[in-house]
Amino acid sequence: MLTVGEAAPAFALPDATGSIVRLKDLRGQKVILYFYPKDNTSGCTKEACAFQEAQPRIRRKSAVVVGVSADSTSSHASFAAKFGLRFQLLSDESKGTLQAYGVWKRKSMYGRSYMGIERTTFVIDEKGKIQHIFPKVSVDGHVDDVLAVL
């Protein structure tokens, strides 16, 4: 399990256009790295749209938002276009980054057990260290909670 104060695990993942985004390339600004289960689902759409709506406030705090799921780059491109999302959505189909951040977990629904992403947000400081962790995120009010720790 990752802890506040330690270095955030490095990653190099494709965004919706196929360009590779590396954590080290985001140094010098705060990064709101949020992991979400699936494009175009109700909770994930609500969370993404809330982050999009908060973009001016997030930029004023010298931060950027980066979303990560196991969906494909084409799924991300469609999701971003459909909802006007103007921040990067990264694809981790191999699940290596999901595992490195400890968000790929056994879940259960309706008595069925399966592996999936536990909705989690990490705030990473300008030097690449974990500043805050929001585990098991509840979407309502989450963006305001994130803004409060920036």
Q: What is the CATH number of the domain that holds 138?
A: 3.40.30.10
In a domain, 1, yes or no: no
User: Which pLDDT value is given to residue 109?
Assistant: 81
In a domain, 49, yes or no: yes
In a domain, 6, yes or no: no
**Alpha-carbon distances of 33 from 64, 79, 112, 121, 123, rounded to whole Å:** 8, 18, 29, 6, 6
Give every strand in the sheet of 120-124, ordered side by side.
88-91, 63-69, 30-35, 120-124, 130-134
pLDDT one-digit tens code per residue, 54-80:
999 999 999 999 999 999 999 999 999
pTM: 0.96
In a domain, 84, yes or no: yes
Residue 39 domain boundaries: 12-149
**Catalytic residue (choose from 44, 54, 70, 124):** 44
Residue 50 phi, psi dihedral angles, 5° rounding? -65, -40
Mean pLDDT of 24-47: 97
User: Which pLDDT value is given to residue 98?
Assistant: 98
User: Which pLDDT value is given to residue 140?
Assistant: 96
Q: What is the DSSP string of 33-57?
A: EEE-S-TTSHHHHHHHHHHHHTHHH
pLDDT one-digit tens code per residue, 2-17:
999 999 999 999 999 9
Looking at residue 7, what DSSP letter applies? Answer: B
Count of structural domains within the chain: 1
Q: Which amino acid is at 121?
A: T
Residue 16 CA neighbour count, 13 Å, CB half? 17
Q: Would residue 44 show up in a list of annotated catalytic residues for this protein?
A: yes
User: Which pLDDT value is given to residue 138?
Assistant: 95
